Structure 1
Amino acid sequence: MVDVSQHELVPEHTLLDEAKLEEVLEAYDIDRTDLPKIKRKDPALPDEASVGDVLKIVRDSRTTDTATVYRLVVE
C-alpha cells in the first residue's frame, strides 16, 4: 500500500503541542473549535494524530514563500 503522506505534493503536517497551540489561539484571538476542520481519516494525517489535536500545515505558495494553516482533527 502507498503511504500518501510521503508524496511530494502533500504539504508538511505537524502536530502542535499544547503550549504552541495556546500561542496560536491567542495570536488569532480564537478558540480551538473556531479552526477549520480536517477529518481523522484523511490519508495525509500523521499516524499519531487523534480527534481534538491541532495540526500545523505548511504549504508552498506562489505569492509568499510558504503559507501556514492550522486544522482541528475531527471524527
Structure 2
Amino acid sequence: MVDVSQHELVPEHSVLDESAVEDVLDEYDIDRTDLPKIKRSDPALPDAADVGDVIEIVRDSRTTDQAVVYRLVVD
C-alpha cells in the first residue's frame, strides 16, 4: 500500500502539543472549535493524530515561502 503522507506534494502535517495549541488560539483569539476541520480518516494525517488534536500544516507558498495553517481533527 502507498503511504500518501510521504508524497512530495503533500505538505508536512504535525500534531501540536497543548501549550502550542494555546499559543495559536490566543494569537488568533479563537476557540479550538473555530478552527477549520480535518477528518481523522484523511490519509495525510500522522498516525499519532486523534480526534480533538490540532494539526499544523506547513505548505510551500510562492508569496511567503511557507504558509502555516491549523486544523482540528474530527471524526
Give the corresponding residue for 1:54. 54
Question: How many residues are matched?
Answer: 75
Percent identical pairs in the alignment equals: 79
How many Å apart are 1:44 and its aligned residue? 0.2
2:71 counterpart residue number: 71
Q: Which residue of 2 aligns with 1:15?
A: 15
User: Please, what is the CA RMSD of the aligned residues?
Assistant: 0.4
- Scaled by the length of structure 1, what TM-score is found? 0.99
**Whole-Å separation in 1 of the counterparts to 2:3 and 2:34:** 30
Question: Following superposition, which runs of at least 4 residues in structure 1 exceed 3 angstroms of deviation?
Answer: none
SS at match of 1:21: helix
Post-superposition Cα deviations, 1:14-65, rounded to whole Å, max 9, x if no partner, equal 1000001000000000000000000000000001101000000000001110
Letter in 1 for 2:31: D
